[in-house]
Amino acid sequence: MGTAEEVLEQVRGALAPLALGSTLAHGILVLEVAAADLAKVAQTLKTRFGFDMFLDVTAVDWPQLEPRFEVVHHFYSTRDHVRVRVKTRVPATDPTVDSLVPLYNSARYMERECHEMYGIDFRGNDDLRPLLLYEGFVGHPLRKDYPKQKEQPLVPYRK
């Protein structure tokens, strides 16, 4: 298949019509795509370029920017040993992206974690219960507007 750079250039060329922007950073191809195109981009990466491993999904909270949230997916190709990072911007009023569980089963838990920590909704993931947090926790602790010292104890404090 050629070197990592050649593979990534092929990916970049093929996905150029869907991407809002693309850069190479530290040997990783970074693609910025619209939320509506995310599933299609992931589908192409998996079926056409052999990105068979879903590494991670997380989010970045930019309180001053609009759209506020950046949902970041990482994919890895075990055949070519290259990585692709896909960034999607979603607004705070409707922080929804398509779930990638139909493509990658391993996305299920990572989307659950991203959902509880940042409040991103993954359309199509039917199990977004708290994973690391507990039932009854209010808010999303990794959002920048969550108070740093705020506690939600399950056991009443003794005095």
Partner 1 sequence: MTARTPAGRPPSAAFEYLTTKKDEFVGWARKFSLFPYPFVTACCAMEFMSVSSTLYDTDRFGAALPRFTPRQSDLLMVVGTVTHKQAPILKKVYEQMCEPKWVIAFGVCASSGGFYQNYAALAGIDKIIPVDLYIPGCPPRPEMVIDGIMKLQDSIARARHPIVNKEF
**Region near partner 1 per CB under 8 A, out of 5-13, 62-70, 95-103, 146-154:** 146-154
Instruction: Decide: 98 and 38 in contact? Cβ < 8 Å.
Output: yes
Q: Closer to partner 1 at the Cβ: 26 or 129?
A: 129
* Number of residues located near partner 1, criterion CB under 8 A: 16
- Which position among 26, 94, 129, 153 is part of the footprint of partner 1 (CB under 8 A)? 153
**Region near partner 1 per CB under 8 A, out of 34-42, 66-74, 84-92, 131-139:** 131-139
Q: Closer to partner 1 at the Cβ: 67 or 130?
A: 130
**24 sits in which H/E element:** strand 19-25
- Residue 152 near partner 1 by CB under 8 A: yes
The closest alpha carbon to 117, from 88, 137, 92, 90, belongs to 137
Q: Which long-range contacts (CB under 8 A, 24 or more apart) does 28-31 make?
A: 28/82, 28/83, 28/84, 28/85, 29/82, 29/83, 29/84, 29/85, 30/84, 30/85, 30/87, 31/84, 31/85, 31/86, 31/87
Q: Closer to partner 1 at the Cβ: 93 or 149?
A: 149
Q: Closer to partner 1 at the Cβ: 128 or 142?
A: 142
Q: Closer to partner 1 at the Cβ: 26 or 158?
A: 158
Q: How far is the CB of 126 from partner 1 (least distance, A)?
A: 23
Q: Which residues contact 113 (CB under 8 A, 6 or more apart)?
A: 131, 132
Which residues are at the interface with partner 1 (CB under 8 A)? 132-134, 141, 146, 148-158
